[in-house]
Structure 1
Amino acid sequence: MIATLFVTFLTLLVLSFPIAAAQSIASVLLIFSDDPLSIESYTKAIVSGFNSFPLVAIPLFTFAGDIMGKGGISKRLINTSKIFLGNVTGGLGIVSVVACMIFAAISGTGSATVAAIGLIMVPEMVKAGYDRAYSASLVATAGTIGTIIPPSICMVVYAIAAGTSVTAMFTAGFPVGIIVGTALCIYTYISSKKNGYKPVIIRYTFKEIIGIFIDAIPSFAVPLIVLGGIYGGVFTPTEAAAAGCFLGVLISVLIYKEVKISEIPYLAFRSVYISSPVMFIIGVSTGFGRLLAITQMPIKIADLILSITSSTILLMLLINVLLLIVGTFMETNAAIIILTPILLPMVTAIGINPVHFGMVMILNLAIGFVTPPVGANLFMASEISRVRFDILAKTIWPWVFVMVCVLMLITYVPEISLFLPRMLGIRI
């Protein structure tokens, strides 16, 4: 029964079938061959997967990030960061990382963060004497923070797949994202010093500093209102996404005036177009997950692996290796939806908290954004920097090493992910 399901599923993936189609065909074939449940129950499971209030946050956060990326917010964030960090060794690189961290709290995605920050910072770093491939690799890696610092679409997808709290995931993401960003800033400073990248001395008058801060106030207000509203209990993450859309339109159209009213319908359509495949996969995966539960496949896999080793250290190491490999060729949200029902019972059996495991999984798959052959952030960085993909695939590995070091820290020190939700009294 299990063999029928997975052999069919994997075969269809190899044949380049869309993931949702591969899941559906494999599931229906199993239902008609072994009858583990009725086709009516399978269909109801899919409908219940679509009928999810937290799922609405995905297109809303996509729209909010898209309109604010085009609305001049990234430019204001960069200008503000330069005041504090622009004059140190590797300053422009560090500004890029910090700007990515702040923009991540607006966009919720990695590729959008790379585009918004990279389009401005890569040419500026090259002009200051930085190697073009180095600059593109830096921004591509810093863009992964877009999936780690909330609001993150990947966190919403994981919370739905794992049946855990979106708010808990958002809260856990803050310290993890800050540690990732800090590690990248440290490596930027060390590598810039080694490569001889001189600081670009920028002297601002007091009037200029005040002007930059005033101009950036609306940009910083967005994450403060959206995330403050969630943690203050004013609204749910889904309602926060709607608030982000409203603020995005208000700031980009009426305050900064860098997006026209006539562009709003296209941006809204584009957000739905980008989000719909993920949402469709989630719905179909609910039926797929129902079959997995009935066949007890996750439990059997967990028992098999736990019979080989019960060591938490070794098991988490093996899972990290698996996720790093999967991240190199599978889209992040699809990997979360498929692997969470399989891996979560295994790790909870050895006492791993689902929120902590969610951060480990998301960080693993975030690294996949910068590892070939898929590497969505690498492709985006290649486009905006005009550096060939194969060149970036060679220069990215020191940055990947830094990310893996942070991954090991997050994996084996669970309190990094869990202390803030516990401190705020969020159920985990």
Structure 2
Amino acid sequence: MSAGLVILGIILLLALRVPVGFAILGPSVLYMISTDQSTGLSLRTAAQEVNSFPLLAVPLFILVGVIANHTGIADRIFAFAQVLLGRVRGSLGYVNIGVSVGFSWMSGTALADVAALGKMQVPAMTRRGYPRRFALGLSAASSLISPVMPPSIPAIIYASVAAVSTAALFAAAVVPAFLIAGGLAVAVYVWARRKPDLAGHRAAPGEFRTAFLQVLGPLGAPAILLGGILSGLFTPTEAAAVGVAYVAVLGFCYRRLNLRALGRIVVDTATTAASIAVILAASGLLGWILARERVPQDIASFLLDFTDNPIVFLLLVNIALILIGTVLEPIAALVITVPVLLPIAVQFGVDPVHFGIITIVNLMIGLLTPPIGGVLFVLGSATRTPMHEVFRGTAPFMIPLLLVLALLTVAPDLVLFLPNMLGL
């Protein structure tokens, strides 16, 4: 049984809507059996993939996002952004982006962002006269800020797989995340400049002060999480634990958290973390199979024969990863593709941290494209909208996202500036 048959089997199972972890695990185990490899080796290989200290941060950051969602922190950020940008034409478009930036400091995943914010933002925008497709598309696109901005769960997984510093990757992700937000803001400006009916309203006296006081607590989260990591005070895993304690205290102070709610929060977190662990373990076994079949070496040989230009290589990688992201869940795609592509990137002289940011942004764009399109499904479910309608609204916002990706590809200094400045 060859690696090609394993990949074909995975694609067929994914087409049949088999959960990603099991779609990868089934053909991989069949390969091990057909090549007379022991079951013990299969279990050890899969277990080693999740036996990593940095990966302990993943369930903790998921817990931070779930608590923030349950305690109404997103509502407070939304109210503050509305007051701050109320008079600007197309204000709710900028509010949509600003809330995603604010919530991204706590959620770490696009699905958490769109689940928490989509059902609040889309109705608010449609009530104010914004086209539904525009509201859906912007909400979907802005959710990609969360998995790029630290604390990014894909960044933690990439750092673990690629053996690079999580703190360096977090620092490198800050500028790209703000570039994504800026690109979407430009798209909103271009769309809204000929729509005078979407002008906002001045906030009432005292409203700004009230909204600011309500959001003061949540604003402490990014200072603790990112400040602690970049200053060297915490490791990412320790910062995640401190972040859990901080948002839990906020929840109790806001009287939105109790023992019954904690039970639901723990179940939600465990379910999400367990599904990621299964995908990581299965992908680790598949990675072992690909290495045994010398797939990385074959791909490297082909690419090195095709071009010796690192920009051309990265453009080819962009195309490949976007296509992979349309059919494979991002976490699985990270664990499978990074061990194959990163050594080739290093041969081309590409910095591993720069390559990590490009990889993450590529695969996150895949969350907005059918047939997998996880963000599309979650937003459609939250707003009771068919997936094709969500995609039609999202399609125009792919332009600024792809332009930002192209800029990050050809200008590595945008990515590496901050970690180099901090000495990471």
- Alignment partners' CA distance in 2, 1:239 and 1:276: 20
Q: 2:285 aligns with which of 287, 302, 325?
A: 287
The residue correspondences of 1:176-195 to structure 2 (distance < 5 A) are 176-195=176-195
Of 404, 409, 419, the match for 1:411 = 409
The question of whether the paired residues in 2 share the 8 Å contact of 1:137 and 1:381 is answered with: no
Using the TM superposition, name which of 185-194 and 2-11 deviates more.
2-11
Contact 1:87-1:199 within 8 A present in 2 as well? yes
Q: Distance in 2 between matches of 1:393 and 1:267?
A: 30
Farther-moved stretch of structure 1 (81-90 vs 211-220) = 81-90
Q: Could you say what secondary structure the match of 1:130 adopts?
A: coil
Q: Which moved more, 1:370-379 or 1:165-174?
A: 370-379
**For 2:273, which of 257, 272, 275 is the aligned residue?**
275
Report the Cα offset of residue 8 of structure 1.
4.6
Report matched runs for 1:213-228 at 5 Å.
213-228=212-227
Q: Provide the residue aligned with 1:133 in structure 2.
A: 133
> How far did residue 82 of structure 1 move?
2.5
Distance 1:351 1:135, change over 3 A: same
Q: In the alignment, what sits opposite 1:46?
A: 46
Secondary structure of 1:396's partner?
Answer: helix
Counterpart code for 2:21? A
The whole-number CA distance in structure 2 between the counterparts of 1:48 and 1:321 is 30
Single out whichever of 116-125 and 237-246 deviates more from structure 2: 116-125
Q: TM-score, normalised by structure 1?
A: 0.92
* 8 Å contact from structure 1 (residues 128, 200) kept in 2: no
Is the Cα–Cα contact under 8 Å of residues 55 and 279 in structure 1 kept in the other structure? no
Cα distance, 1:100 vs structure 2: 0.4
* Structure 1 residues 282 and 195: CA distance shift in structure 2, 3 A: same
**Residue matched to 1:157:** 157
Change over 3 Å in CA distance of 1:8–1:220 after alignment to 2 = same
State whether structure 2 residue 259 is matched by structure 1 residue 234.
Answer: no
Give the Å deviation of 1:108. 0.7
**Which range moves more in the overlay, 13-22 or 238-247?**
13-22
SS in 1 for 2:171: helix
Q: Which range moved further: 6-15 or 59-68?
A: 6-15
Deviation at 1:68, TM superposition (A): 0.6
Offset at residue 25 of structure 1 (A): 4.0
Superposition TM-score, scaled by structure 2 size: 0.93
Unaligned runs of 5+ in 1: none
Query: How far has the Cα of 1:364 moved from its partner?
Result: 1.0
1:216-365 equivalence runs, <5 A: 216-252=215-251, 254-365=252-363
Tell me which moved more, 345-354 or 14-23.
14-23
Of the structure 1 ranges 384-393 and 263-272, higher mean CA displacement relative to structure 2 is found in: 384-393
Mapped to 2, the partners of 1:154 and 1:160 lie a distance apart of 10
Name the counterpart of 1:209. Answer: 208
Aligned residue for 2:56?
Answer: 56
Tell me, in whole angstroms, the C-alpha distance in 2 between the residues paired with 1:6 and 1:130: 44
RMSD in angstroms over aligned alpha carbons?
A: 2.1
Superposed displacement of residue 9, structure 1: 4.4
Aligned length: 423
Q: Identity of paired residues, percent? A: 33
Q: Deviations over 1:86-108 (max 9, x none)?
A: 21111111011011011011111
1:14 is displaced (CA, Å) by 4.7
**What's 2:400 paired with?**
402
Instruction: Note the alpha carbon deviations across 1:99-128, whole angstroms, 9 max, x for none.
Output: 101101111111221232233322222222
The CA deviation string for residues 210-255 of structure 1, in whole angstroms up to 9 with x for no partner, is: 2222221111011111111111222211111111211121111x21
Cα deviation, 1:178-223, whole Å, max 9, x if unaligned, reads 0100111111111012345521112332x33222222211110111
Q: 2:423 aligns with which of 422, 425, 428?
A: 425
Match of 1:367 among 365, 368, 372: 365
CA contact (8 A) 1:371 1:393 kept: yes
Confirm or deny: 8 A CA contact 1:132 1:387 kept in the other structure: no
Letter in 1 for 2:60: L
- Give the unaligned 5+ runs of structure 2: none
Please tell me the residue identity of whatever aligns with 2:22.
A
